[in-house]
Amino acid sequence: MEDDYDAIHPKAIEFAFKKDWVKKGKTFSFRKAFSDSFFTLFSKCRIKREKTRTMGTFKKGNLDANAAKEILRMEEEPLQTEDFYPASSNMGSVCLHATGPITPNGTTASLVAELKPNLSKNRFRFTGTSIPAISFFLPAGFSRTSFLEKSFEQPGSKSDTSL
């Protein structure tokens, strides 16, 4: 993600320049300013992005909520038909199984969003659990609004209506 985003905090770019994360005269890149190269490398996020992009391209024209869930459930290479063994999981898996020191992390939860022109038709599906390959995606909806159209209240230290 360089500069292709729908929304960004109004002071994020100014903050990045102030911290000298973007050099004077250079174009702002969200990835370059806010990414940690160490974790980016070892999390294999570029590999995961390429796998999901490959499957998204393969599903082009049929990329609905079920196809998105299938992509999030992908444990090895795209379109692999061999059996999968969780012990062989690595950080490059989209559906990530924690297997020890080499792969210490696992997927924590998954979200599929169906965004429609009519906002009341937007649908969201959450797992709320780890390992989407064996989890249920539970439907949820938020009627009459879009997070891009509403200025949501930020959570604070006192009880409020932000959550």
Question: For the whole model, what pTM was predicted?
Answer: 0.66
pLDDT given for residue 160 in this prediction: 58
Instruction: Tell me whether residue 2 is exposed, middle or buried, using C-beta atoms within 10 angstroms of its C-beta: 0 to 12, 13 to 18, 19 or more.
Output: exposed
Q: What is the pLDDT of residues 80-111, one digit of tens each?
A: 667 777 777 778 888 888 887 877 788 888 99
Place of tokens 């992908």: 74
pLDDT given for residue 130 in this prediction: 84
In this prediction, residue 144 has a pLDDT band, given cuts at 50, 70 and 90, of low
Residue 149 has pLDDT above 60, yes or no: no
The Cα–Cα gap between 145 and 150 comes to 7
pLDDT, mean over the chain: 79
Residue 118 has pLDDT above 70, yes or no: yes
Q: What is the pLDDT of residues 27-59, one digit of tens each?
A: 888 888 888 777 777 778 888 888 888 888 888
